[in-house]
Amino acid sequence: MVAGFNTRTCALRHRVFRPRRQHMPRRKPLNEKNISSGRHFVRPAIGSVTLCLIVALYVLLVTNQMFWTKAYSYFTTEPAAFIAFVAGISAGIFAFFTLFSAKYVTKPVLIFFVLVASVSSWFNDQFGVIIDKEMIRNAAVSTGAEAGHLITARFAMHVLLTGILPSLVIIWVRIVHRPIFKKLVHNTAVILACVAVFVAAGTTFYKTYAGVGRAHRDLMDTLNPVMPITSVVRYAIDTQRDANVVAGPLGTDARRVGVVDNGKPRVTIIVAGETARAQNFSLGGYAKMTNPELAKRNVVYFPNTSSCGTATATSIPCLFSVYTRAEYSHRKGLETENLLDVLTHAKVGVTWLDNDTGSYNVTDRVPYTYLPPSNDPRFCKDGECKDEILVDKVDGWLDKVKGDSVLVLHQLGSHGPAYYQRYPEEFRRFRPDCRANDFGSCSQEEITNAYDNTILYTDHIVSMIIDKLKQRSNSLSGAVLYFSDHGESLGENGIYLHGAPYIIAPVQQTQVPMLVWMADDLAKAGGYDMACLSKRAPEGTHSHDNIFHSVLGMMDISTKVYDPSLDVFAACRTPSNKLAQK
């Protein structure tokens, strides 16, 4: 030790004069708290089952207006049954939502339910549309342009307010989950209790519910989000099951019989209309003159004609099939060759020109041309074309006809909601007409006027096609058959557009126009009594079931699959049922 040096004192002095470190509070993680304006802001915490309950109540109250309106009207004489029905449905939806109360699953599933219910409720409440499997099928094959007409500013605002904002709230809240075993016990208890309420409500008023269910089969079809999701699943299953179906042969024995004078080719042009309803055809008695040109063309009109479906994806393959509406199914349509195939077996030339959304597998084995991609500036805009593009192609096709032939022209016709885009300016005869995609911005008169203008334009299209065949009467014997695939609702009982399940569909969606024009030499050669046909047409009832056999009759095709009882012309031919005798 060095004299005079005190190590302890030196250490103490060193400690005394050493600068002290400032005490800094430990920063807490920000994964659950945010600091705003100097304050701690805590995300609200909520139990997973509680969140399921809140979302279930929200969906039932906000996105099921059509469902509850129908239910209330169906149970007006049974208030106790209605109260029990509300309790049972609410308990069932809560139980269904609670099934997905699990970590990492709850939020995505609830958001999905809210968005589906939001979108579905728009079409339910605004158009009266029921989203069943066939509606999903129709939507799946819609073009971008067609779907775009439904995406309006009001639709976007509806989805924002009733779908996106609630979904953001679900994302924002913090879910508190129980330990897995306790969660399993708790959730099971909640679900069983809900099921008990559902069963109790159903058994207590079973007789009432059974009666209402039989009388109003559409009741449960509008329950969101359950029914839209179920419809998508059913459609996906059908699509997967039908993916590799191969059409079986039909009418391979078909052959042409009968010859037109001078050996001229027999030519039939089938105009497959879109969304034209019989109620608005002046040929059938409508007050407005929507068929001024056809009224001068000596056509035979069939006023009492029903469709095979209420949407194109069902009606088109059904009406070209050998099956009646009662027999037809989507699967059968795929499994069996159709009218165009039978014509081909008889060596008849067949061509399909399409200005709508496709042929739905009907043309899988015949020449087919889809016209909108041509973007012909004379007729087309934004991916859609006026129907005059079909007329424009007729002359080129007729120039190539060498023998008996059938041409199918598939119209865009009166497809909504953008009726005003279906006809050119010179056909705005009925005014004021709705000039928007959104019916909410138009009066009922404007909507009807716009629709009537589409019928007026179709009248012009079909008349032009008849005239083209008349102009070639020296070289061919022609006929034109026009019918619509289905009808349209224009606000009757709060329903718009089409696609309602057939069993509950309003008559406006199922009653369609049908007419025929036949050249004199063709009528004479075929033994048709046109006066007889004109007299019988308004007397009977007809349907798409008649198309298959009537076209075979017009083309004088003999085959075992031909049924003269379904040929609308057979009773007015001499000799009667001519083809059946071959």
| Cβ-based burial of 59 (10 A; exposed 0-12, middle 13-18, buried ≥19) | buried
Long-range CB contacts (within 8 A, 24+) of 287-290: 288/430, 288/452, 290/452, 290/455, 290/456, 290/459
The lowest-confidence range among 37-51, 317-331, 559-573 is 37-51
Task: List, in order of start, the domains of the chain with CATH numbers.
Answer: 45-241 (no CATH), 264-581 (3.40.720.10)
Taking all residues of the chain, what is their mean pLDDT, rounded to a whole number?
91
What per-residue confidence (pLDDT) applies to 5?
A: 42
pLDDT digits (tens, 9 = 90+) for 190-219: 999 999 999 999 999 999 999 998 888 888
pLDDT per position as a tens digit, 487-506: 999 999 999 999 999 999 99
Cα(303)–Cα(285) distance, rounded to whole angstroms? Answer: 9
Which has the higher per-residue pLDDT, 546 or 581? 546
Task: State both tokens at 61.
Answer: 């109250």
**Amino acid occupying residue 239:** T
Q: Where residue 38 falls among pLDDT bands split at 50, 70, 90?
A: very low
In this predicted structure, the answer to whether residue 30 has a pLDDT above a threshold of 60 is no
Residue 254 pLDDT exceeds 70: yes
Q: How confident is the model at residue 36 (pLDDT cuts 50, 70, 90)?
A: very low
Res. 574 pLDDT band, cuts 50 70 90: confident
Q: Give me the residues paired with residue 216 across strands.
A: none
HSE value, Cβ hemisphere, 13 Å, CA-based, for 458:
35
291 has pLDDT over 70: yes
pLDDT of residue 540: 87
Residue-wise pLDDT for 147-163, tens only, equals 788 889 999 999 999 99
- Please count the CA atoms within 13 angstroms of the CA of 505 that sit on its side-chain side: 26
- Looking at the predicted structure, is the pLDDT value of residue 87 above 50? yes
pLDDT at 18 over 80: no
Mean pLDDT over residues 253-276, rounded?
A: 89
Percent of the chain with pLDDT over 70: 91
Residues 6+ apart with CB under 8 A from 123: 129, 131, 150
- When pLDDT is averaged across residues 437-463 and rounded to a whole number, the result is 96
pLDDT band, very low/low/confident/very high, at 256 (cuts 50, 70, 90): very high
Tokens 């059913």 sit at which residue? 234
Residues of the chain above pLDDT 90, percent: 79
Question: Quick one: pLDDT band at residue 243, thresholds 50, 70, 90?
Answer: confident
Residues in the chain: 582
Confidence of residue 575 (pLDDT cuts 50, 70, 90): low
CA–CA separation, 531 and 131 (whole Å) = 45
pLDDT of residue 33: 42
Least confident of 52-61, 255-264, 433-442, 492-501: 255-264
Q: Return the pLDDT at 214.
A: 84
Residue 150's pLDDT is 86
Residue 578 pLDDT class (50, 70, 90 cuts): low
Distance CA 108, CA 117 (A): 14
What pLDDT, on the 0 to 100 scale, is given for residue 261? 63
> Bigger pLDDT: 444 or 17?
444
> For residue 225, what pLDDT band results from cuts at 50, 70 and 90?
very high
Which residue reads 């805009």 in tokens? 381
- Is 142 a residue whose pLDDT tops 90? no
pLDDT score, position 26: 52
How many of the other CB atoms lie within 10 Å of CB of 523?
18
The neighbour count for residue 99, using CB atoms within 10 Å, is 12
Residue 380 C-alpha from the chain's centroid: 23
pLDDT at 14: 44
Residue 579 binned pLDDT confidence (cut-offs 50, 70, 90)? low
pLDDT tens figures, 507-532: 999 999 999 999 999 999 889 999 99
pLDDT, mean of residues 369-374 = 96
Whether the predicted pLDDT of 143 surpasses 90? no
- Residue 42's pLDDT is 77
Q: Is residue 434 scored above 60 in pLDDT? A: yes
Mean pLDDT, residues 359-381 taken together: 96
Q: Are the C-beta atoms of 307 and 543 separated by less than 8 Å? A: yes
pLDDT confidence bin for 7, thresholds 50/70/90: very low
